[in-house]
Amino acid sequence: MGKGAAWAGAAEEIRRLVDATGMPFLPSPMGKGVVPDGHPNSVASARSHALAQADLVLLLGSRLNWIMHFGLAPRFARNLKVIQIDHALEELGNNVPATVAIGADLKAATAQLVAGLEQHPWQVPGDGPWWRELSEQVAAKKEELRPALEADGAPMGYYRPLAEINRALPDDAILVTEGSNTMDISRSVIDHAHPGNRLDGGTWGTMGLGPGFAIAAALTRPGRRVVALLGDGAFGFGGMEVEVAVRYQLPITWIVFTNNGIMVGMPELPADGPPPPFAFTPGARHDKVMEAFGAKGYHCRTPQELARALKKALASDETCLINVEIFPHATRAPQQHNWLTR
């Protein structure tokens, strides 16, 4: 399910559909929380496997765009069948012709499916081969990530600090993420229990929009905790907007993952010749940018420092910035496919 499902207010009906059918589900980045990430039918940890092996996909308010690998092989089965429900009629059948295309309000349509299932129950057998395979994959992938999620000390990779953020975030926090690794990896580590609480890079992944998203979220959802999680590259695009948060006293917690670069950085710039365009000034103290405007900045090198900073930041109503030092060569866990494989 995608963000269309969140915007349609169809979360309750979709959760009932998942419960009634026992089917495995995967959210798109901004569809996270439509069904809580902690729901036992989530196969997000085994996303690649689930997408590639599925013979039928029920697509609810989600586009088959680059985030969903265009619905094409090798990421999806060649003979994939798609049942698509979307209120955005122009999305029906995009990239992969839908076997069944329904242009409808998702809340109403899903409610009808749930009512139909009460008359004619149907379930993916919980002890059948499909669920056995998926459960094994989910368990194996979780085990694979465990060392990175629990890694202690410094320098930190991406996973442990994201796990600290996941632990510290209030249940109803609004999370804005922007960057490359910072944003991508956060999708698999940070859980959402409610719909509409994640503002990701969006359909086009345009850098520079995140700070504006965070300010808009803080203005339109007073009382809610807004956290803007940005890579240092992303912060370079729109980071000066922290001044707006100070001036309007918006309780936004800014977190910058400083790896000195775009996806990877360098511990030190080369002594000779110009630095490569992906590498930034090593050890930049983005916390001091916030201090320049009179608000609090934290600098964290270890998971413990980050946990302490998060506790203070999230207990306060004032905006602040937490600069998180990430190992410049840190990267994501090995992936089965390259980016934009279709």
Ligand X SMILES: Cc1ncc(C[n+]2csc(CCOP(=O)(O)OP(=O)(O)O)c2C)c(N)n1
Site string for ligand X, 262-281 (x = CB under 6 A): xx------------------
* CA distance linking residue 45 with residue 135, whole number of Å: 10
Q: Is residue 210 involved in binding Mg ion (CB under 5 A)?
A: no
Positions in 242-261 near Mg ion (CB under 5 A): 259
Q: Minimum CB separation from Mg ion for residue 228, in Å? A: 15
The smaller minimum CB distance to ligand X, of residues 130 and 327, is found at 327
* CA distance linking residue 237 with residue 240, whole number of Å: 8
207's contact among Mg ion, ligand X, none, with CB below 5 to 8 A by partner kind, is: ligand X
* CA distance linking residue 95 with residue 15, whole number of Å: 27
Contact 49, 134 (CB under 8 A): yes
Q: Which of these segments, 160-168, 201-209, 233-241, 266-274, binds Mg ion (CB under 5 A)?
A: 233-241
* CA distance linking residue 141 with residue 148, whole number of Å: 12
Q: Minimum CB separation from Mg ion for residue 212, in Å? A: 20
Whether the CA torsion 183, 3, 12, 59 is positive or negative: it is negative
Q: Is residue 177 involved in binding ligand X (CB under 6 A)?
A: no
Contact 239, 70 (CB under 8 A): no
Length of the chain: 342
- 195: nearest Cα among 53, 35, 22: 35
Q: Minimum CB separation from Mg ion for residue 279, in Å? A: 10
Which of 34, 106, 217, 234 forms a contact with ligand X (CB under 6 A)?
Answer: 234
The smaller minimum CB distance to ligand X, of residues 54 and 262, is found at 262
Which of 33, 201, 233, 251 forms a contact with Mg ion (CB under 5 A)?
Answer: 233
CA distances from 102 to 15, 19, 110, 190 (A): 19, 22, 11, 32
Residue, CB closest to Mg ion: 231
* CA distance linking residue 118 with residue 137, whole number of Å: 31
The smaller minimum CB distance to Mg ion, of residues 196 and 233, is found at 233
Q: Is residue 179 involved in binding ligand X (CB under 6 A)?
A: yes
* CA distance linking residue 226 with residue 214, whole number of Å: 7
* CA distance linking residue 30 with residue 287, whole number of Å: 28
126's contact among Mg ion, ligand X, none, with CB below 5 to 8 A by partner kind, is: none
Q: Minimum CB separation from Mg ion for residue 232, in Å? A: 4
Main-chain phi, psi angles of 252, to 5 degrees: -100, 130
Q: Is residue 305 involved in binding Mg ion (CB under 5 A)?
A: no
180's contact among Mg ion, ligand X, none, with CB below 5 to 8 A by partner kind, is: ligand X
Q: Minimum CB separation from ligand X for residue 284, in Å? A: 11
The smaller minimum CB distance to ligand X, of residues 53 and 188, is found at 188
3 state DSSP class of 83: strand
Q: Is residue 261 involved in binding ligand X (CB under 6 A)?
A: yes
How large is the greatest C-alpha to C-alpha distance in the chain, in angstroms?
A: 73
Main-chain phi, psi angles of 263, to 5 degrees: 75, -50
Q: Which of these segments, 197-205, 219-227, 229-237, 302-310, binds Mg ion (CB under 5 A)?
A: 229-237
- 263: nearest Cα among 283, 249, 277: 277
196, two tokens: 């509409």
The smaller minimum CB distance to ligand X, of residues 30 and 106, is found at 30
Q: Minimum CB separation from Mg ion for residue 259, in Å? A: 4
The smaller minimum CB distance to ligand X, of residues 13 and 178, is found at 178
Binding positions for ligand X, rule: CB under 6 A? 179-182, 205-208, 231-234, 257, 259, 261-263
Binding positions for Mg ion, rule: CB under 5 A? 231-233, 259
